[in-house]
Amino acid sequence: MSFEVWPEAIELGRLFADEGYELALVGGPVRDMLLHRRSHDLDFCTSARPEQFEPILRRWGRDGFWDMGRKFGTLGAMRRRADGTEVQVEVTTYRSDVYDPDSRKPEVSYGDTLEGDLSRRDFTVNAMALRVPDLEFVDPFGGANDLAKGVLRTPVDPRQSFDDDPLRMMRAVRFVAQLGFRIEPETAEAITDMVDRIGIVSAERVRDELVKMLLSDRPRAGIEALVESGLADIVFPEVPALQLEIDEHHRHKDVFEHTMIVIDRAVALETGPDGPVPAPDLTLRLAALMHDIGKPKTRRFEAGGKVSFHHHDAVGAKMTRKRLKALHFDHHVVDDVAELVNLHLRFHGYVDEPWTDSAVRRYVKDAGHLYERLNRLTRADATTQNRRKAMVFASAMDEMEQRVRDLKEKEDFDAIRPDLDGNEIMDLLGLEPGPMVGRAYKHMLEYRLDNGPVDHDTAVEELKRWYAAL
């Protein structure tokens, strides 16, 4: 088996060997080498204790050193190449940890062998190593074979592995999305049987795995695995709830399947790095996943076999906000995704009757910085199999976007303000600061959106007309 190995790894291996210590490249970098992918960061494990290898690492890492993981036996260093690129390494002493059943944080216990260290890793494809500098490949659990088959399997009994660290169940789902692998049946059965153990994992850790899954090349596969495993019932229950039972007498789409299609379509509508929605975009992907989560709560069976979901956009926005807050997403992500869910039906009225210029302005103004994402979510959500309807919808969206471009040439949508500011309103109406000034300002903003920019005298006349009519 041949390897193209980083020269820095071989150099570091020689430095450790000169001092009588073992060093091996482990985990993701080894897996990625076999997949012919380049890792940006290199993880090593060693027979040396941190106090023994710290001088070596400081000497090698002339451009940076850190020890935040010292209590776990981990030290890190960085070196900058001549071309300006950086190589970051982390070195950890062999481990044979003991886990508290009520916590996924191990009691750190140093081990004596590389094989023992590999046995405590999450999956066989991450339990391979390459000794440096002699380049001996170490694969005690058949990781290379599993990698070739695209299979996720734990090095030890999966129930023991997931009992030790339940977050590994989330990582299995994430690797389905990132690597396109399938979970081996015994491992999948263990996840289903042990989903309740995920309850001891912090919301932040769960969120981080969900984010990595959603930003992968195959987010749909990850979400489907999350639901099939039963993990979603605990960490994201609004998603499996989309699997509505369809009454044979009532007609509506399979909402879960529709959502999976919308995610695929939204990903396809992301742009290159210089476009308005560069891939991968977490906000758009979360909105695609959550845009219909209000449907189960709002489903009503109507006469004639029809089904309605009135106000599922507004209900879904509230549910979105609650779930993302529970997962400790940043407040701006919470706000943006909830607003996209709230607005995702807004465009549909345009298809029936093209809007006035004022309605177009309102759409752009209300969407704000989410305008490009909202249009992509709206396009992705149009999953009708009726070709004529699909073409009419796409044509209407194209037309609306062109009108926005045309209007933007005449006025700056991003800076739409009333033609009179707050100070002018107070002077003209003889008001002190207070709620009435806010009402007047809001009215003038509505007037501006309806009529476009007007001259100062016209704006003054409108303000006085509105005030007199109160």
CA distance 328 to 201: 13
Average pLDDT score over residue span 254-261 = 93
Question: Is residue 219 domain-shared with residue 171, that is, in the same domain?
Answer: yes
Average pLDDT score over residue span 213-218 = 97
Question: Is residue 305 domain-shared with residue 286, that is, in the same domain?
Answer: yes
CA distance 166 to 152: 15
Of 201, 236, 271, the one marking the end of a domain is 236
Question: Is residue 139 domain-shared with residue 226, that is, in the same domain?
Answer: no
Average pLDDT score over residue span 411-438 = 80
What are the backbone angles phi and psi of residue 41, rounded to the nearest 5°?
-120, 145
Based on the structure, what is the number of domains in the chain?
A: 4
CA distance 141 to 277: 42
Least confidently predicted of 52-66, 92-106, 257-271, 377-391:
92-106
Question: Is residue 192 domain-shared with residue 309, that is, in the same domain?
Answer: no
Domain that holds residue 459: 422-468
Question: Is residue 347 domain-shared with residue 461, that is, in the same domain?
Answer: no
Which domain CATH number covers 116?
A: 3.30.460.10
Q: What is the Cα gyration radius of the chain?
A: 29
Task: Express each pLDDT in 350-406 by its tens digit.
Answer: 877 888 888 888 898 889 999 999 999 999 999 988 999 999 999 999 999 999 998
CA distance 208 to 227: 17
Task: Express each pLDDT in 300-338 by its tens digit.
Answer: 887 777 888 899 999 999 999 999 999 999 999 999 999
Q: How many CA atoms lie within 13 A of 284 on its CB side?
A: 30
pLDDT at 393: 92
Question: Is residue 189 domain-shared with residue 247, that is, in the same domain?
Answer: no
Residue 434 gets the label, from left (phi > 0), alpha (psi -120 to 50) or beta, of left
Question: Is residue 339 domain-shared with residue 209, that is, in the same domain?
Answer: no
249 has a pLDDT exceeding 50:
no
Average pLDDT score over residue span 192-214 = 96
Question: Is residue 182 domain-shared with residue 272, that is, in the same domain?
Answer: no
Question: Is residue 204 domain-shared with residue 255, that is, in the same domain?
Answer: no
Question: Is residue 253 domain-shared with residue 299, that is, in the same domain?
Answer: yes
Residue 99 or residue 436, greater confidence: 436
Of 236, 261, 285, the one marking the end of a domain is 236
pTM here?
A: 0.83
Which domain CATH number covers 186?
A: 1.10.110.30
The answer to whether the Cα torsion of 96, 100, 106, 110 is positive or negative is negative
pLDDT band at 90 (very low <50, low <70, confident <90, very high): very high
Give the contacts of 386 (CB within 8 A, at least 6 positions apart).
Answer: none
Average pLDDT score over residue span 147-167 = 95
Q: Could you tell me the maximum CA-CA distance found in the chain, to the nearest angstrom?
A: 91
Residue 58 CA from chain centroid, whole number: 35
Average pLDDT score over residue span 11-39 = 93
Question: Is residue 169 domain-shared with residue 316, that is, in the same domain?
Answer: no
